[in-house]
Amino acid sequence: MPESLKPGLVHEMSMEVTEANIVSQEVPVFSTPQMIALMERNSLTGVIPYLPQGSITVGTLLQIRHLAASPRGSWVTARSELMEVDGRRLVFQVAAFDEVELIGDGIHERAIVNLARFLAKLEDRQPKP
């Protein structure tokens, strides 16, 4: 793996809680799947500049707690810190915050894969007509 891909790498990204990412009109708070997606997207985005040419990462493990509700109109920030690099395996400590408090945290693992090989294997898995 590239030597620049080392534990301690931190990345953050934010998004507003809107109609598109709330639980429902009756429960107008940031949904758990959207919080997890933000954490995962943030972890992916943070390591892209450090990956070998032609590589991507894919999610392999999520252990996430959703701790507090964030109402529509608030902003949620995901933070990921790369804690471990074990060959192709990347382990992140992830957290999400709104303007008030920590709303979620956990561990997320990703694997570095060659994009061309990944897409070729995916092609083999397509349903046959």
Write out pLDDT tens, residues 6-45. Answer: 999 999 999 999 999 999 999 999 999 999 999 999 999 9
- Assign domain 10-124 one CATH number from 3.30.413.10, 3.40.50.1860, 3.10.129.10, 3.40.220.10: 3.10.129.10
Bridge partner list, 109 = 61, 91
β-strand partners of 97: 77, 102
Q: What is the CA radius of gyration of the chain?
A: 16
Backbone angles phi, psi at 50, to 5 degrees: -105, 0
Rounded to two decimals, the pTM is 0.92
User: Which tens digit of pLDDT belongs to each residue from 67-120?
Assistant: 999 999 999 999 999 999 999 999 999 999 999 999 999 999 999 999 999 999
- Which residue in this structure is represented by tokens 């804690």? 83
